[in-house]
Amino acid sequence: MVQNKYSKKVDWLTVSIYLIMVIFGWFNIYAANYDPENPIFFDPGKEYAKQLIWIGLSVIIIWVLIMTDSKFYVAFSYFLYGLSVFLLFSVIFFGKEINGAKSWFELGPLRFQPVELGKIATALVMSRIMSRHDFSFNKPAKVAKIIGLWALPVMCIFLQNDTGSALVFFVFILPFYREGLTGNILIFGILTAVVAILTLVYPNTLIIWLILVATLLFLLIKIDKKVTGIGAAVLLGGFTLALTIYSILGQALRWEIFTVIGMAGLSIYLLIKGFVKNLKPVIPALIFMWSLVAVTFTVDYFVDDVLSEYQRNRVYVLLGFKDDPLGAGYNVNQSKIAIGSGGLTGKGYLEGTQTKFDFVPEQSTDFIFCTVGEEWGYLGTFAVVFLYVFLIFRLIYLAEKQHSPFSRIYGYCVASIFFYHMAINIGMTIGLAPVIGIPLPFFSYGGSSLWGFTTLLFIFLKLDTDRNELIR
Amino acid sequence: MENINRRTLVIGLIVLTIGIIFIIKLFILQVYDPSYKFSAVSNTRREIISFPARGLVYDRNGKLIVSNQADYDLMVVPRELKPMDSVTFCNSLEISIEELRNLFDDMNGRLHNKKISRIKPSIFYKQLSVKQYGYLQEKLYKFDGFFVQRRTLRKYEYPYAAHILGYIGEVGPQDIERDDYYIRGDYNGINGVESTYEEFLRGEKGFKYVLVDVHGRQKGSFKDGEYDIPAVAGKDIKLTIDIELQKYGEELMQNKIGSIVAIDPQTGEILTMISSPTYDPSLMVGKKRAGNFSDLSTDSLKPLFNRPIMAWYPPGSTFKTINALIGLQEGVITPDSRFECHMGYSVGRFHLGCHNHPSPLDLRHSISNSCNAYYCHVFRNIIDNKKYASVQEGFDAWKGYLVKFGFGHRLGTDFSNEIRGFVPNSATYDKIYNKSWSSLTVVSLAIGQGELLTTPVQMANMAATLANKGFFYTPHIIKEIENDTIPSRFKEIHQTGIDTAHYRPVRDGMEMAIWGGPGSTAGAARVPGITICGKTGTAQNPHGEDHSVFIAFAPKDNPKIAIAVYVENGGFGARWAAPISSLMVEKYLKGEIDPSRSWLETRMMEGDLIYGTK
């Protein structure tokens, strides 16, 4: 029988984690919908009843995925990708707007979010390209192809105004890194985030000088005292010269411009010196310096001129600059109160008060973790975080065991997507990440996301059944 | 291979770092830092209803009659209750432990019957006194789950016009069923204009969501007031009554049973509507209402009974004016027709008595002298008119005129409890007399007795029709509604189907009834300088002394007021009803009573037909 053929090979540990999450998730959706004023054991109109149907249909999806030949996923990756980009593009025009994002198709009673397919298809296509034997991050043509195919769905999703989902795609940096992308990019990504946050707190000039000091330190470590000393002198010289000229002309003083002029001087010196003496660290130093300065200005401009007052407030509250528990910080504050009130062991199943009566918004979708926190306490939240970390580790472990690079890369993509969702969703409910409306995989209510994550996972589990074969 | 392992390790470390950060943060949030636990207890959302100020009520001259006063209910949210010091609680409310136990039993009973919610506020103790509120407000933080909600009660600026104004009281289950605006504990208008114009007066309730801490103290608005709905104040209304005239009339009617209705005939506006005995409308406000209501409703003099619209009496001799008009319109008499009267009307063995007066009289004098025999002739001539095939047909023609005058049907005033009175038709008598009856059988209708029953407001309307020489507007009490229009039916003109010319002799007769010298029935109603016209009546009362009736209007040309007065057990119309009418007319038109008549005013005011001697 078919069952027997696959039941031995499918990674039952992962399937068990999956089942525990889905079932535990359902119980929490039930609790979030439970009305203690009007305790009906089972109301077919409620979300938990529908979720039960979505779970049932997931079983069929799993069966189909496992029955499909592994080679299909490679062969049809471009087709699926094309289809998903088409849908992601169409939804901008024909989609239904929910919570400000035009990211849903509505067909009668069914709603479908093409971004779910987009994640899967993009993961498959990335895996396919990177699994070719001639692929390398040193070949600009290949990198361009990867970036192009990556950017297409991301742009569509940004155009849908679904920023939260678009940001998911940035997590592909992890499989890229695994497959040979230079670590500098990863470091650069982290530095960018740090600079962006600092820009919101401190004046631009101070940030830029911090970047310059960091650059000089880098030069000191990687090259020598002499180059660093001359570089610093050129920098200060350019700065002072610009300042003097401005003062003589009687213009208003623009510190940022003086700094940039100083930086230009430093850059010219370093380029010449680097070219003459063939100093390799000069290039990354310059790239880092200029990019981070650009980040500073961009973030500053973005927050001050692009974001609405409301969005700006959300950013500030998240970063803790503003304490506004009833305004912009409302959701996070309510969510933290709900989780905090759970204590060590929780209030008990269905005994939660904060995750009912609409204190916490989107209780059964984006903020389902609050119900876990309130009713199951620290034991519950610890278990959920542990399960996710365990699942991601298990997926990485399985990925490393794959004979074919396609399966391995895809496994990393899956693990990374789960990681991103877990990190942002839980992070948001405990005030460590911005409030971005993305679901907690397998927990949040909704057929579209459940099916999406199930498909994402079980394609990999299917590929894993053929881990000793070369799939291409 | 080694390189790949290092990269795997880096990715694993990133995941692990985030996982550990989360686990630490969650530990701080859930276990280490107690502030969020307290916060959750305190983080209770409460829906507070903001009650709108009810619309104010003004009289026709813009004097404020009804306003609002603040009132406080003690509310409870059962889910938030904690054990408390019941002695302090009782002391603050000045109630006994038993009463408190009863209050809790009540609450639990209602909770059990699902009448109230465990998580939503409901009333625990209604209408705190200012003193109770003061004490309680200080101690409230000790009593979890309790808070005080403000609402408004009525405040009456005058102790008059109770029947017109009606009162407000708690909504009943059927009100809640009928209109989902109401919830348990709300007030709505009961009776009077409070009830009729409820939907204008009540305004729109608002809702405010606030966060409250563990002690019931409000910590700010929920979601910045995003969901709050402000209350909309009720619309003010202006009534047609003149509160000073109302006051004067109520004083005149003290210690008497009966009613006064005065109408501006040119508009149908009710200037005053008095039911005596009456009560101070302030008795119906707040906590004391229940006790006062039961006292008033068991009073044998029925002070709650709104006589002008709910009592029916025979119209008595005042009705001769109508029969005269019908006779003239039907062509069975002329103003010069004379009929003999020898101390009454006799046909065979039938005799209907009359008083001593010159005979025969013409139409004008028949009214001023109130001759019974004259109207027996007139009435029988109408019914037995050759143009009608039968007595039934003749009778129904007569009845048709009465209906056009507004008798036998509800006039359609603002008051929903107005009754229709009674005008018999031929079928009524066919039933009583088995179809064998004649005009003589029912001749007492000629003088306003018999089966005919009218309300005082219908009689005042009759006076207004006489004043207008043939038409009337539906009497009404509403003059203006803020930013709205009054019902259109009050603007419609009603014709009586009697030629204007026929009113002249009748109105002359009414003038002569007061001013005509010897033999005139209502000399007591003379008001110096005002051409007042009137007609006395005596409504037969099988239970005791007859009722004194008077209708009048003034001035004769361009009338400004039409009035009907009933004084129960007052005897002849001239005795009580006529003087009272004249005083009302004088007060309204002149503003004060001529010194030459102050003795009459005193006599009317001091007259005690209930407890004293007549």
Q: Which residues of A touch B221 (CB under 8 A)?
A: 326
Count of domains for chain B: 2
Place of tokens 């994002």: A101
Taking CA–CA distances from B117, the nearest residue in chain A reads A37
pLDDT of amino acid A37: 62
- For residues A197 and B51, the model is more confident at B51
Residue B300 forms part of a structural domain: no
pLDDT of amino acid B2: 45
Distance CA B151, CA A36 (A): 30
CATH number where B356 lies = 3.40.710.10
pLDDT of amino acid A335: 83
Q: pLDDT tier at A21 (50, 70, 90 boundaries)?
A: very high
Residue B21, pLDDT > 80, answer yes
Residue B585 forms part of a structural domain: yes
Which range, of A191-205, B98-112, B131-145, B214-228, averages the lowest pLDDT? Answer: B214-228
Q: Average pLDDT for residues B588-595, to the nearest whole number?
A: 92
**B248 and B101 share a domain?**
no
**B524 and B475 share a domain?**
yes
Residues B426-445 have pLDDT tens digits of 999 999 999 889 999 999 99
**B111 and B193 share a domain?**
yes
| Chain B contacts in chain A segment 337-376 (CB below 8 A) | 337-344, 353-354, 357-359, 373
Q: Average pLDDT for residues A264-279, to the nearest whole number?
A: 87
Q: pLDDT tier at A471 (50, 70, 90 boundaries)?
A: confident
Distance CA B607, CA B614 (A): 7
**Of B210, B239, B268, which marks where a domain is finished?**
B239
Residue B355, pLDDT > 90, answer no
| Contact (CB<8Å) B119/A334 | no
Query: Is the CB of B33 inside 8 Å of chain A's CB atoms?
Result: yes
Query: Is the CB of B32 inside 8 Å of chain A's CB atoms?
Result: no
pLDDT of amino acid B333: 94
pLDDT of amino acid A256: 81
CA nearest to B219, candidates B78, B43, B82, B72: B43
| Contact (CB<8Å) A432/B25 | yes
What is the DSSP track for A54-72? HHHHHHHHHHHHHHS-HHH
Q: Which of A357, A396, A419 sits opposite B8 (nearest CB)?
A: A396
Distance CA B500, CA B507 (A): 11
Q: At what angle do helices B500-515 and B320-330 cross, to 10 degrees?
A: 150
Distance CA B293, CA B279 (A): 10
Query: Is the CB of B36 inside 8 Å of chain A's CB atoms?
Result: yes
**B221 and B369 share a domain?**
no
Residue B286 forms part of a structural domain: no
Distance CA B151, CA B526 (A): 51
pLDDT of amino acid B460: 96
Query: Is the CB of A336 inside 8 Å of chain B's CB atoms?
Result: yes
Residue B256 forms part of a structural domain: yes
Residue B115, pLDDT > 60, answer yes
pLDDT of amino acid A347: 81
pLDDT of amino acid B512: 93
Residue B295 forms part of a structural domain: no
pLDDT of amino acid B268: 95
Alpha-helical regions (H) of B498-554: 500-515
Q: Which of A357, A378, A386 sits opposite B45 (nearest CB)?
A: A357
Q: Which of A37, A381, A400 sits opposite B30 (nearest CB)?
A: A381
Average pLDDT, chain B: 88
pLDDT of amino acid B85: 84
Indicate which of A313, A337, A414 best probes the interface with B, i.e. most B CBs within 10 Å of its own CB.
Answer: A337
- Rounded CA Rg of chain B: 34
| Contact (CB<8Å) B11/A177 | yes
Residue A401, pLDDT > 50, answer yes
Q: Which of B18, B19, B36 sits opposite A337 (nearest CB)?
A: B36
Which domain covers residue B100, as residue numbers? 46-79+89-239
Stretch (H or E) spanning A340? helix A330-340
Distance CA B282, CA B160 (A): 9
- For residues A320 and B209, the model is more confident at B209
Residue A7, pLDDT > 70, answer no
Provide the percentage of residues in chain B whose pLDDT is more than 90: 57
Q: pLDDT tier at A1 (50, 70, 90 boundaries)?
A: very low
Query: Is the CB of B2 inside 8 Å of chain A's CB atoms?
Result: no
Distance CA B436, CA B372 (A): 25
**Of B239, B271, B292, which marks where a domain is finished?**
B239
Residues A354-363 have pLDDT tens digits of 666 555 667 7
**Of B213, B239, B265, which marks where a domain is finished?**
B239
- Cβ–Cβ pairs < 8 A, chains A and B: 110
- For residues B271 and B289, the model is more confident at B271
Residue B290 forms part of a structural domain: no
CATH number where B142 lies = 3.90.1310.10
Residues A40-66 have pLDDT tens digits of 778 887 888 999 999 999 999 999 999
Query: Is the CB of A237 inside 8 Å of chain B's CB atoms?
Result: no
Which range, A13-27, A98-112, B146-160, B505-519, has the best average confidence (pLDDT)?
A: A13-27
What is the DSSP track for A166-229? HHHGGGGHHHHHHTT--HHHHHHHHHHHHHHHHHHHS-HHHHHHHHHHHHHHHHHHHS-HHHHH
Min Cα–Cα distance to chain B from A251, Å: 46
Which range, B281-295, B390-404, B531-545, has the best average confidence (pLDDT)?
A: B390-404
**B564 and B461 share a domain?**
yes
Min Cα–Cα distance to chain B from A428, Å: 11
Residue A109, pLDDT > 50, answer yes
Query: Is the CB of B130 inside 8 Å of chain A's CB atoms?
Result: no
CA nearest to A353, candidates A36, A108, A49, A116: A36
Q: Which of A183, A373, A419 sits opposite B15 (nearest CB)?
A: A419
Residues A341-355 have pLDDT tens digits of 888 888 888 877 666
- For residues B184 and B424, the model is more confident at B424
Indicate which of B1, B6, B22, B23 best probes the interface with A, i.e. most A CBs within 10 Å of its own CB.
Answer: B22
**B437 and B312 share a domain?**
yes
pLDDT of amino acid A162: 81
Residues B504-525 have pLDDT tens digits of 999 999 999 999 877 778 888 8
**B420 and B545 share a domain?**
yes
- For residues B360 and B564, the model is more confident at B564
Q: What is the dihedral of CA B222, B223, B226, B231, to 10 degrees?
A: 10
Provide the percentage of residues in chain B whose pLDDT is more than 70: 94
Residue B309 forms part of a structural domain: yes
**B348 and B484 share a domain?**
yes
Residues A274-297 have pLDDT tens digits of 888 888 888 888 888 888 888 888
Query: Is the CB of B21 inside 8 Å of chain A's CB atoms?
Result: yes
**B274 and B200 share a domain?**
no
Q: pLDDT tier at A96 (50, 70, 90 boundaries)?
A: confident
Residues B458-490 have pLDDT tens digits of 999 999 999 999 999 999 999 999 999 999 999
pLDDT of amino acid B222: 66
pLDDT of amino acid B170: 85
| Contact (CB<8Å) B11/A427 | no
**B224 and B274 share a domain?**
no
- For residues A334 and B331, the model is more confident at B331
Min Cα–Cα distance to chain A from B491, Å: 52
Q: Are strands B44-50 and B547-554 parallel, antiparallel or unpaired?
A: unpaired
| Chain A contacts in chain B segment 182-211 (CB below 8 A) | 211
What is the DSSP track for B111-141? HHTTSS-SSS-EEEEEEE-HHHHHHHHHHGG
Query: Is the CB of B351 inside 8 Å of chain A's CB atoms?
Result: no
**B132 and B257 share a domain?**
no
| Contact (CB<8Å) B45/A359 | yes
Phi, psi torsion values for B406, nearest 5 degrees: 95, 15
Min Cα–Cα distance to chain B from A54, Å: 29
Q: pLDDT tier at A14 (50, 70, 90 boundaries)?
A: very high
**B66 and B136 share a domain?**
yes
| Contact (CB<8Å) B43/A178 | no
pLDDT of amino acid A2: 47
